[in-house]
Every structure is written in structure tokens, then in C-alpha cells.
């Protein structure tokens, strides 16, 4: 086991009605609140009203920045930061899924910094402080509500990158499973694929961390047991709660302690697809993971078999990979490029962009040949009948 | 799933040589350090020298309180607190196992409070603040290094009670698995029994918390896979690390989130034995748990079967209980009162004390008849041949 430090300062409030105390929490951070959200679904499902009522109870002055895209871009963050700077905001309230909360995190660093969001993310600027972020989560997927990470896109330079900084742990996150009732079947499924992929990225990292491995199995089993049921019962509070809590644990540190590093090769593959075709993040991962495993099984068959033994009772790498394909099929997630609506004629463009963006894992190094094979495997074989 | 809040502010430093930065951490809290430790093993195994060297590097003034007993008593805490008050200490450094760290936690509350340690624990005094506690752990068992709990004895009133307060989370805990090398085979085993029991107390609580259940299985499996091997190889860094990290997770909150409450009935049984006969805490639990399960299987056979299915692949409550007895046997832990050196003629005294101390669980309520049966079962049947 490698040395590690556990310190996660986020206060996570989980359950029915937890936002009833949001106003009291916000108050402690000040009166001027930058309220960030996405394309407006929170106005349709009533969450916007609940949250702004809390802000009014707290006597807050609300400065709004809405319209953040599902694959968030750094330009929005620069704009939000300019607004925050102009109004000298005390705190950012992010209401949404990963795209909104990630944007809020980088906004929090950009406001007090004399530099742009993108330069912070590529580490050309070193922020020393951040505006406090409070999150209200409306989509179970990325785990951003309890971690120091954010992912943004730069469409000009064709980059989608991740960034980490302990300054951007949310101070508080409010997770009411009922706030995810209106998430569509499709995006609920993509969220589940995302949480499974997060657990796997740590599993496929380097180093012996047997308890963290077992936590990976626990989280993926939770998705296996309750994910398909949730897709048939989108208004089940209990199923929403189970998936929401599993997603938080999939990327709050728990699956990584004691490892040298996670892998994250599959995420870097998925990011290229989102960048090129605006594909939903979770949907790219259910296509990429089985293909990636088919290449990685030659590098380390034992690691894949171990995973299969613990999750599915399978004994070979091939059976493990088939079991994952079946799981994603049951979850109505895309399995092939065609399920994502990406035709065969894009293959070369994708491979070129992957090479250009240095798609790679931290543990399992991917050669150009590996990348070509992975992309090929993402095209070949059976689609998910749900999409076909 | 019940509503819950996750907030664990302890910074946990885990791994080889982590105390090399202890001095720098201590410095941030002040110059006057109350150093608390136990019966002197840290002087024999060199940990005392390492720690005091760090304190000297930090330019600290060291005020020592040693001699804390393995079943710690509140009188020691009152004395330590008087010493801390007299010297106006800035921070407490607790170097030891659960007894030392628990004593330090209550000392931290008693120093700034105009009342006694025991009155704080029985909630007759309400402390508003605490001296910061920093812990260096030398025994993997209780999980106190990352939680807000402490357990102390009052020999006069025949009580051993637990106490919880968010003020007493250690600010930092340093866990170097090599610091546990000199723990005897016997006490290493009792520590493993303790961590298993902690996971079980949460498992047997009330409410549906499926991911927390899976974390329970993960932690106990870790003890099953690596506990017996560690007892044959006490200087294995890796095995010490696995058990140490499992023990932390068994009682840092992770196994409880989403439940109504844990049970803790078995702990209250064990506490009576420690109180009457000074039996080691972990050793009382391996005797009490199987007996308790034999009574509780009638109240909820399904819950015990579910546990067995997930840990041992067993299908009946009886087979599950036998599998636990086998596990404790493999771990060279006591199974019967005779293994603890407590003769049959003490039975009535024990039952009386259990009734007097209101031995009970928060979920599975124990009648007087249940208690009599449990104590009977702790005497009857096969001893562990390791002790017989």
C-alpha cells in the first residue's frame, strides 16, 4: 500500500428536504451569491424556486449565471467569473449536475485571480484562494459534489481536460435524491455508466490497495443491483438515493487511497468523443470501457479476471468483458459508436484527435496501435438493441 | 435510506515515515504540548524517542502524562486535565492505542471546562470547546483516530460508557503501520476482533443502507483475508497496513451512513466483562458476538443469513454463526468465558451487572431472559483450542 492522506472537508447533506437549511448555511458565507445553473431544467422542475426561496430567507442578493452547457466550456466560466468579480460575490451556489458544479469550481478560482479560467486549468496560473462553493446536486453521476476536481472543454484548442485543487472542494453539498426525479431515463443511465467508470478508473490504477478494490466492487455492485431497477422506476426515492450515494462514493477518494495512481485512460478516450461530437460523457464511457478492456486484457489479464470474479463470478477476462457489456446493455447504455450516432466515416478523425490529444492512461500506457485497436473495437460487434 | 450528513474533519496521514512531519503539524497549534501515553511500551519500542524528537524540532515545551491503563479510567483524565490546565497547554499529542487517544479526547474537553471528565461523559456538563488533539496510533483496533467517540470506565460506579462529540475528532492522526510491529500476537488478534465487531455493530443497526452494508462486508473480508496471515507474520508492513486501514474504516462513519442507528448491544456486553475482570476489549467481543447472534437469529434470521451469504457463502443463520466462530478461532481469539479466564461461578455476578448496567442494543432490544441466555451461551460449547 502506498502512503496517502485522507482529508475531505466537504460537508455532505444527504436526504429528503436537506435544502430546507440551505439558506442558513449560505448566510454563514455572506450576502452576495453568484447562482450558477444550466440550461433551465431547474426552472421547469421547481428546484430553482426552492433554492431562490432559501436565498431570499437568507436575505441574499442573487447574481445569476445560467445557461451552462452539458459539456461545459471555459468561456462560460470566464463570463461567470467576470460577473462574480463585478459584484464582488461572497459565495457561489451551483445548482445542477457535474457541468454546473465543475464550472462553479473553476469560477471560484478565477474570480480572485488575475488570469483566465483556461490558464488556471493548464496550470499557467496558480490561484492562491477561491470563493467558497456550495452545491445543490440535481444529477447523480460525476461525484464532483465531494471532490476537488473539475473538467472543462476548450473547443478552439480541441481539449477537454481535468483539473484538481484542494481549494475547490465544495464547502457544502446538498443531495436530495428527489431532486433527481426529473432526470430522463437516458441521462439517468449515463450517470450510472459514469459512476461505474469512475470506480473502474481507480481499480485499473497502479499499486496494491485491497480495501480500496473492495470498495470499488461495493460501488459497482450497488449500480448492478439497483441501476436497472431505477431505469424502470424513475420516481423511486430509494433507488434514486442508492444511485446518488454510490456516485458520490465512486469519486470522493474512497476507491483510490493506497494506490500509486488511478488510470483514467478510458476517460481521456471519452473526452475526445464529447469534444468532437458533443456526446454525453457517461455515454462515451460505456462504449469505450469494454473496447479498452479488450486491449488491456493482453497487458494484464489477471487484473480483469479478478474484477470479474468479484463482480460477476466469471473466471476469464473475456467473460468479464462480456459481463460488463451485458451490464451496460441492461442499463440501456450505448455499446458501440453507432449507438452514439457516430458513423464509421469518422474513424480516422477520431483516431487523429486521440493521437493529437495524447489519449493515454497513467498506469496502462496506450500506444498508437492500441488506440487504433480500441477505436476499431468501439465500432465492431453488436450494438445495444436499445439503440439499434 | 435515512438522511445523514458526512463531515469528518480529521486529517489522516497514513504510511511509512508519516511522523517525520509531526513536528511541523504540531507547530501550527502552539508550543505547549501535553504528551499523553500508556504504560511505557512506546519507550521500549522507540516511538517515544521519535515523537519527542519531532516535538523538540518544533521547539515545543513538553508536559507529559503517561501511565494510561488499557481499560482507561476517568480519574487519569481528570489528572491529565489538571496538568493541562496548570500548564495552559495549546495541544494534546496522544501516542498510543484507543485507551490513550480516548483519554486524550476527554482530557481535551475537560481542560477548558469547569467540570469533571465523568460529568462531561454522562452529559451533566456541556463543553463548548476543546483543546486540539493530534494522535499517533500504535495499535490498530478502535478507529478512534478518525472519529468523535471515546470510551472510559468508572470503577466506583461500575460503568464503562461511550461518549461522542464532534469537538473531539482528532485534528490530525498519524498512522505508520510499522509503529504497530511490536504489538503482541495476542493484542493484534484482539484488535482484529474489535474492528470486525465495529463493522458488525453498524450492520446490525436499523434501516436500509445497502452500500454501507457492502462497506461492512469489504472491511470484514479484509480482516478475513489478511488477519490470520498477519498473526503469523507480525513484522509484515503490508499486512499491518491492511489491518490498520481496515480498522480505521470500521468506525469512521463509513459503515453507518444512511442507517437509523447502529446496534452496539454486543459492545455493552463486552464492557461489563472489562469492567468486572479487566478483560481486553477485543477479547470480550469475540466471545460475546457469536452468543449474541444465537439469540438474535430468532429475532431476525434473515439479517444474519444475508451477512453469511455475503461473507462466507453460507445459507443459514446457524452456518453463519459457525463461520464467525471459525473466523475468531483462526484469529486465535477467545470464544468462551473460559478462554478469558472467567470461571462458571461468576455467571450470576455477570448477569446481575448486565441487568444493572442496562445492557441492551439500540435496534435489537435485549430482555433479561435474552441476557441470561447470551451469558449461558458464552459459557457453553467448545473453547478455542488456542486457549484450552
DSSP string, B10-56: EEEEESTTGGGGHHHHHHTT-SEEEEE--SSHHHHSSHHHHHHHHHH
| CA–CA separation, B189 and B234 (whole Å) | 11
Asked if residues A243 and A230 have their Cβ atoms less than 8 Å apart, the reply is yes
A378 touching B, CB under 8 A?
no
Name the H helices within chain A: 22-27, 41-44, 47-57, 74-87, 98-110, 117-121, 185-203, 210-231, 237-250, 265-277, 281-299, 301-311, 317-330, 347-356, 368-379
Average pLDDT for B353-360: 94
Residue A1 domain-assigned (yes or no): no
From chain A, pick out residues whose CB is under 8 angstroms from the CB of B7. Answer: 10-12
CB pairs under 8 A between A and B: 103
B257 touching A, CB under 8 A?
yes
**What 3-state class would DSSP assign to B242?**
helix
| CA–CA separation, A332 and A384 (whole Å) | 7
Residue A211 pLDDT more than 70?
Answer: yes
Q: Residue B145 is inside which H or E element, if any? A: none
Q: Do B4 and A11 touch (CB under 8 A)?
A: no
Q: Alpha carbon B101 to chain centroid distance?
A: 10
Residue A220 domain-assigned (yes or no): yes
From chain B, pick out residues whose CB is under 8 angstroms from the CB of A211. Answer: 218-219, 222, 242, 245-246, 249
CB atoms inside a 10 Å sphere around CB B381? 12
pLDDT band at A385 (very low <50, low <70, confident <90, very high): confident
Statement to judge: residues B188 and B175 lie in one domain? no
Statement to judge: residues B153 and B195 lie in one domain? no
| pLDDT, position A340 | 97
Statement to judge: residues B334 and B352 lie in one domain? yes
A210 touching B, CB under 8 A?
yes
Statement to judge: residues A162 and A214 lie in one domain? no
**What 3-state class would DSSP assign to B173?**
strand
Q: B47-84 as b/e, with b when 16 or more CB fall inside 10 Å?
A: bbebbbebbeebebebbebbebebbbbbbbbbebbebb
Residue B381 pLDDT more than 90?
Answer: no
| pLDDT, position B163 | 97
Q: Do A15 and B9 touch (CB under 8 A)?
A: no
The separation between the first and the last C-alpha atoms of chain A, rounded to the nearest angstrom, is 45
Q: Do A215 and B210 touch (CB under 8 A)?
A: no
Q: How many domains does chain B have?
A: 2
SS (HEC) of B57-79: HCCCEEEEECCCCCCCEHHHHHH
Residue A5 domain-assigned (yes or no): no
Q: DSSP letter at B261?
A: B
Q: A297-326 as b/e, with b when 16 or more CB fall inside 10 Å?
A: beeeeebbbbbbebbbebeebbbbbebbbe
Mutation test of the interface with chain B: which of A2, A5, A6, choosing the one with the most B Cβ atoms within 10 A?
A6
- What CATH number is associated with residue A86? 3.40.50.1970
Residue B211 pLDDT more than 80?
Answer: yes
A24 touching B, CB under 8 A?
no
B179 touching A, CB under 8 A?
no
Statement to judge: residues B338 and B190 lie in one domain? yes
Q: A128-166 as b/e, with b when 16 or more CB fall inside 10 Å?
A: eebbbbbbbbbbbbbbbbbbbbbbbbbeeeebbbebebe
| pLDDT, position A381 | 87
| pLDDT, position B69 | 95
**What 3-state class would DSSP assign to B221?**
helix
Can you read off the three cell numbers belonging to residue A263? Answer: 488510470
From chain B, pick out residues whose CB is under 8 angstroms from the CB of A25. Answer: none
Can you read off the three cell numbers belonging to residue A111? Answer: 474570480
Which residue range is the domain that position A206 belongs to? Answer: 185-379
| pLDDT, position B97 | 97
Q: Which residues contact B46 (CB under 8 A, 6 or more apart)?
A: none
CB atoms inside a 10 Å sphere around CB A198? 29
For A380, counting Cβ atoms within 10 Å of its Cβ (0-12 exposed, 13-18 middle, 19+ buried), the class is exposed
Residue A211 domain-assigned (yes or no): yes
Examine the predicted complex and report whether its ipTM is higher than 0.95: yes
pLDDT digits over B316-337, tens only?
999 999 999 999 999 999 999 9
Q: How far is the CA of A9 from the CAs of A18, A91, A225, B9, in angstroms?
A: 18, 17, 30, 6
Instruction: Enumerate the β-bridge partners of residue A197.
Output: none
- Closest chain B C-alpha to A18 CA, distance in angstroms: 8
Q: Do B257 and A242 touch (CB under 8 A)?
A: no
Q: Do A222 and B245 touch (CB under 8 A)?
A: no
Residue A323: closest CA among A200, A229, A176 = A200
- Closest chain B C-alpha to A331 CA, distance in angstroms: 19
The separation between the first and the last C-alpha atoms of chain B, rounded to the nearest angstrom, is 45
Q: Do B238 and A9 touch (CB under 8 A)?
A: no
What residue of B is the nearest CA neighbor of A255?
B215
Instruction: Enumerate the β-bridge partners of residue A4.
Output: B14
What Rg value do the Cα atoms of chain B yield, rounded?
20
Average pLDDT for B76-82: 98
pLDDT band at A388 (very low <50, low <70, confident <90, very high): low
Can you read off the three cell numbers belonging to residue A89? Answer: 460575490
Asked if residues B193 and B286 have their Cβ atoms less than 8 Å apart, the reply is yes
The answer to whether the Cα torsion of B238, B241, B246, B247 is positive or negative is: positive
Residue B212: closest CA among B359, B2, B30 = B2
Can you read off the three cell numbers belonging to residue B355? Answer: 441487568
- Closest chain A C-alpha to B86 CA, distance in angstroms: 33
pTM for the full predicted model: 0.97
Q: Nearest-5° angle of CA A196, CA A202, CA A203?
A: 80
Q: Do A7 and B12 touch (CB under 8 A)?
A: yes
Q: Which residues contact B36 (CB under 8 A, 6 or more apart)?
A: B64, B65, B66, B68, B80, B92, B93, B94, B95, B96, B100, B103, B104, B107
B13 touching A, CB under 8 A?
yes
Residue A334: closest CA among A376, A268, A279 = A279
Taking phi first (over 0 means left), then psi (-120 to 50 degrees means alpha), and beta for anything else, what does residue A327 get? alpha
From chain B, pick out residues whose CB is under 8 angstroms from the CB of A215. Answer: 215, 218
| CA–CA separation, A156 and A7 (whole Å) | 36
Can you read off the three cell numbers belonging to residue A129? Answer: 484562494
From chain B, pick out residues whose CB is under 8 angstroms from the CB of A249. Answer: 211
- Closest chain B C-alpha to A245 CA, distance in angstroms: 8
A224 touching B, CB under 8 A?
no
Q: Do A222 and B242 touch (CB under 8 A)?
A: no
For A345, counting Cβ atoms within 10 Å of its Cβ (0-12 exposed, 13-18 middle, 19+ buried), the class is exposed
Q: DSSP letter at B382?
A: P
| pLDDT, position B388 | 67
Residue B184 pLDDT more than 90?
Answer: yes
Q: Do B245 and A257 touch (CB under 8 A)?
A: yes
Residue A387 pLDDT more than 90?
Answer: no
Residues comprising chain A, all counted: 388
- Closest chain A C-alpha to B15 CA, distance in angstroms: 4
Statement to judge: residues A133 and A99 lie in one domain? yes
Q: Do B242 and A146 touch (CB under 8 A)?
A: no
Residue A4 domain-assigned (yes or no): no
Residue B32 domain-assigned (yes or no): yes
Residue from the list B5, B8, B218 with its beta carbon closest to the beta carbon of A214: B218
Q: Do A211 and B14 touch (CB under 8 A)?
A: no
pLDDT digits over A47-87, tens only?
999 999 999 999 999 999 999 999 999 999 999 999 999 99
Average pLDDT for B203-231: 98
Statement to judge: residues A93 and A225 lie in one domain? no
pLDDT digits over B236-269, tens only?
999 999 999 999 999 999 999 999 999 999 999 9
| CA–CA separation, A283 and A204 (whole Å) | 20
Residue B292: closest CA among B330, B313, B321, B272 = B321
Statement to judge: residues A169 and A261 lie in one domain? no
Residues comprising chain B, all counted: 388
B18 touching A, CB under 8 A?
yes
Among the candidates A134, A155, A179, a domain finishes at: A179
A13 touching B, CB under 8 A?
yes
Residue from the list B15, B222, B258 with its beta carbon closest to the beta carbon of A214: B222
Residue from the list B9, B211, B249 with its beta carbon closest to the beta carbon of A246: B211
Among the candidates A155, A179, A203, a domain finishes at: A179
Q: Do A245 and B258 touch (CB under 8 A)?
A: yes
Q: Identify the residue whose cell numbers are 508536559.
A: B63
Residue from the list B7, B12, B241 with its beta carbon closest to the beta carbon of A1: B241
Among the candidates A134, A152, A179, a domain finishes at: A179
Residue A47: closest CA among A60, A34, A32, A37 = A37
Q: Which residues contact A311 (CB under 8 A, 6 or more apart)?
A: A217, A220, A221, A224, A320, A323
pLDDT band at B385 (very low <50, low <70, confident <90, very high): confident
User: How many alpha carbons fall within 13 Å on the CB side of residue B113?
Assistant: 25
The answer to whether the Cα torsion of A200, B249, A139, A384 is positive or negative is: positive
Residue B128 domain-assigned (yes or no): yes
Statement to judge: residues A53 and A164 lie in one domain? yes
Residue B290 pLDDT more than 90?
Answer: yes
pLDDT digits over A154-208, tens only?
989 989 899 999 999 999 999 999 999 999 999 999 999 999 999 999 999 999 9
User: How many alpha carbons fall within 13 Å on the CB side of residue A311?
Assistant: 32
| CA–CA separation, A355 and A353 (whole Å) | 5
Can you read off the three cell numbers belonging to residue B249? Answer: 474504516
pLDDT digits over A30-47, tens only?
999 999 999 989 999 999
Residue B386 domain-assigned (yes or no): no
- Closest chain B C-alpha to A13 CA, distance in angstroms: 5
Statement to judge: residues A219 and A256 lie in one domain? yes
Can you read off the three cell numbers belonging to residue B160? Answer: 464503562
Q: Alpha carbon B70 to chain centroid distance?
A: 11
Q: Nearest-5° angle of CA A66, CA A72, CA A77?
A: 60
Asked if residues A250 and A319 have their Cβ atoms less than 8 Å apart, the reply is no
Statement to judge: residues A195 and A149 lie in one domain? no
A246 touching B, CB under 8 A?
yes
What residue of A is the nearest CA neighbor of B4?
A14
Statement to judge: residues A198 and A285 lie in one domain? yes
Amino acid at each position: 500500500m502506498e502512503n496517502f492522506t485522507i482529508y475531505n472537508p466537504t460537508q455532505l447533506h444527504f436526504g429528503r428536504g436537506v435544502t430546507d437549511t440551505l439558506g442558513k448555511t449560505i448566510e454563514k458565507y455572506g450576502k452576495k451569491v453568484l447562482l450558477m445553473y444550466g440550461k433551465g431544467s431547474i426552472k421547469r422542475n421547481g428546484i430553482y424556486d426552492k433554492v431562490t426561496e432559501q436565498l431570499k430567507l437568507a436575505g441574499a442578493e442573487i447574481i445569476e449565471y445560467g445557461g451552462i452547457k452539458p459539456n461545459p466550456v471555459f468561456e462560460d466560466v470566464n463570463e461567470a467569473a467576470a460577473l462574480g468579480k463585478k459584484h464582488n460575490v461572497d459565495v457561489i451556489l451551483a445548482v445542477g449536475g457535474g457541468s454546473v458544479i465543475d464550472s462553479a469550481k473553476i469560477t471560484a478560482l478565477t474570480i480572485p485571480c488575475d488570469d483566465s479560467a483556461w490558464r488556471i486549468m493548464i496550470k499557467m496560473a496558480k490561484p492562491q484562494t477561491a470563493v467558497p462553493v456550495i452545491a445543490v446536486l440535481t444529477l447523480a453521476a460525476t461525484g464532483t459534489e465531494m471532490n476537488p476536481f473539475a473538467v472543462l472543454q476548450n473547443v478552439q484548442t480541441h481539449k477537454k481536460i481535468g483539473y484538481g485543487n484542494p481549494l475547490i472542494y465544495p464547502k457544502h453539498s446538498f443531495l436530495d435524491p428527489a431532486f433527481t426525479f426529473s432526470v430522463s431515463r437516458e441521462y439517468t443511465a449515463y450517470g450510472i455508466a459514469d459512476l461505474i467508470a469512475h470506480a473502474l478508473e481507480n481499480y485499473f490504477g497502479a499499486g496494491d490497495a485491497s480495501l480500496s478494490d473492495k470498495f470499488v466492487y461495493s460501488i459497482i455492485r450497488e449500480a448492478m443491483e439497483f441501476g436497472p431497477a431505477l431505469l424502470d422506476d424513475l420516481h423511486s426515492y430509494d433507488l434514486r438515493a442508492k444511485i446518488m450515494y454510490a456516485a458520490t462514493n465512486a469519486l470522493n477518494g474512497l476507491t483510490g487511497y493506497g494506490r500509486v495512481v488511478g488510470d483514467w485512460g478510458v476517460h481521456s478516450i471519452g473526452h475526445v468523443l464529447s469534444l468532437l461530437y458533443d456526446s454525453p460523457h457517461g455515454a462515451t464511457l460505456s462504449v469505450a470501457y469494454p473496447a479498452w478492456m479488450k486491449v488491456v486484457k493482453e497487458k494484464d489479464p489477471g487484473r480483469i479476471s479478478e474484477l470479474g470474479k468479484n463482480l460477476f463470478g466469471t473466471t476469464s477476462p473475456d467473460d468479464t468483458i462480456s459481463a460488463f457489456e451485458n451490464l451496460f446493455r441492461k442499463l440501456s447504455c450505448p455499446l458501440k459508436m453507432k449507438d452514439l450516432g457516430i458513423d464509421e466515416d469518422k474513424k480516422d478523425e477520431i483516431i487523429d484527435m486521440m493521437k493529437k490529444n495524447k489519449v493515454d492512461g497513467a498506469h496502462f500506457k496506450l500506444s498508437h496501435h492500441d488506440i487504433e485497436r480500441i477505436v476499431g473495437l468501439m465500432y465492431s460487434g453488436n450494438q445495444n438493441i436499445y439503440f439499434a
